[in-house]
Amino acid sequence: MLTQALLVDDSRSVLNFLKRHIEAEGLVEATTFLDPVEALACARERVFDLVLVDYEMPHMDGISFIRTLRTLPGCADIPIAMITSRQTDDVKMEALQAGATDFLPKAPQSVEMTVRLRNLIQLGAAVRKLNDRAAHLASEVAAATRKLGEREEEIILRLALAVEYRDNDTGEHTLRVARYSRIIAEQLGLPARLCRDIYLAAPLHDVGKVAIPDNILLKPGKLTDEEMAVIRTHATIGERILADSSCELIRLGAQIAAGHHERWDGAGYPNALKANEIPVAARVVAVADVFDALTTRRPYKEPMALEMARAYLAENAGRQFDPACVEAFLSRWDEVVEIAAGQRTIPFQRTEAPLAPSIKSAAESPSGEDHSAEAVPTA
């Protein structure tokens, strides 16, 4: 590959001389400009390995040209030689401070020109190889990092699915909660990275259920108070499983596992946190988790119509749920309906009926929480 040189001088005769001289050995391809402004425009579009620029030119002197060139992408390290007959210490110092690498006399002797140009060409080629190698390594690191991230995400999802398959043989709840959570996080205006991380960590919300005995977790009927106390331990257990990880996503999952049954009014569990004491990721997932639990069929209950579940969320905003999270969720209702209808195994039903008394009584009763500890939390 030929070394690409940029030659800038307001004298056509000098440009022609430099071009012949630098291309003499067939290792360099030179692009010439009489106007330094046009040369800079070209340098913004192309990457050069070597630059020779005159000191005294109209519109812009060589020092200003070098200073501007050094700010362009790909031009921070390339060798730049300034051509000048005024090789005073002041000029040299100013040029070096601007980013010049070497100097060429305006009326060079042939031997000096040949040697200096050969050195500059070799330096330019070496810098290009180094930059190409650095770019290749950066690409490999980025690819490896991306692959590690993908594996990390897959492990998290499969862990969450393994937990869910104990009491839900489809695994769809996990995926829907993740999608609903992303909708809420995005609509809240959270940073893009946090929205992504909440989406990926949300499936870990019920990981603590691995420690709940099957006779309680899979019980088709209503739980006793003692059994309810056991199943509520899944929040604390989930936090213990995930806490202190070196993985940022798993640490976020620990926050979600611990806090997704806390309530905005402080009546939740396990720590009776209230309002902004609850981590935002847990507040987001609380809305997504309850909505999906309400609207899907389980062995111990029938699904609630979407509009009834929507009314439940709206009525309990500011009590059970962060009102901002509820507002964010409902503001993108069409997407919510699409997610729910696309993955549910029952026909989609839409109704404008008001909140049913049975829902209100469930929310107001200490025993209203179903045995999954997620469908209709206690008041």
pLDDT by residue (tens digit) across 144-184?
Answer: 888 887 887 788 778 777 777 766 655 688 889 999 999 99
| Band of residue 368 on the pLDDT scale cut at 50, 70, 90 | very low
Taking the CA atoms of residue 242, residue 243, residue 245 and residue 250 in that order, the dihedral angle to the nearest 10 degrees is 50
Collapsed DSSP state (helix, strand, coil) of residue 103? strand
Higher pLDDT, 199 or 113: 199
Summarize pLDDT for 41-96 with one digit per residue, the tens. 999 998 898 899 998 888 899 999 999 999 998 888 889 988 877 667 788 888 88
Strand order in the sheet with 80-84: 28-33, 3-8, 50-54, 80-84, 102-105
Any idea which residue has 């059994």 for tokens? 227
- What is the chain's length? 379
| Band of residue 305 on the pLDDT scale cut at 50, 70, 90 | very high
Phi and psi based region of residue 173 (left: phi greater than 0; alpha: psi -120 to 50; beta: remaining): alpha
Residue 272 DSSP label: -
Any idea which residue has 């309810």 for tokens? 228
The pLDDT value recorded for residue 168 is 62
| Overall average pLDDT of the 225-246 stretch | 93
In whole angstroms, give the CA distance from residue 83 to residue 106.
6
Extract long-range pairs of 260-263: CB within 8 Å, 24+ residues apart. 260/205, 260/235, 260/285, 260/286, 260/289, 261/232, 261/235, 261/286, 261/373, 261/374, 261/377, 262/286, 263/319, 263/320, 263/321, 263/377
* Residues contacting residue 178 through CB under 8 Å, at least 6 positions apart: 199, 200, 202, 203, 288
Q: How far is CA 208 from CA 61, 171, 293, 304, in A?
A: 70, 16, 17, 26
* Residues contacting residue 222 through CB under 8 Å, at least 6 positions apart: 367, 371
The pLDDT value recorded for residue 64 is 93
In whole angstroms, give the CA distance from residue 278 to residue 260.
9
The pLDDT value recorded for residue 341 is 86
SS3 content of the chain, % helix, strand, coil (to 5): 55, 10, 35
C-alpha neighbours within 13 Å on the C-beta side of residue 248: 6
Q: Share the mean pLDDT of the chain.
A: 83
Cis peptide before 105 (omega within 30 of 0): no
In whole angstroms, give the CA distance from residue 369 to residue 366.
7
Tokens of 190: 């959270």
| Band of residue 114 on the pLDDT scale cut at 50, 70, 90 | low
| Band of residue 236 on the pLDDT scale cut at 50, 70, 90 | very high
Domains and CATH numbers, the chain: 3-137 (3.40.50.2300), 165-364 (1.10.3210.10)
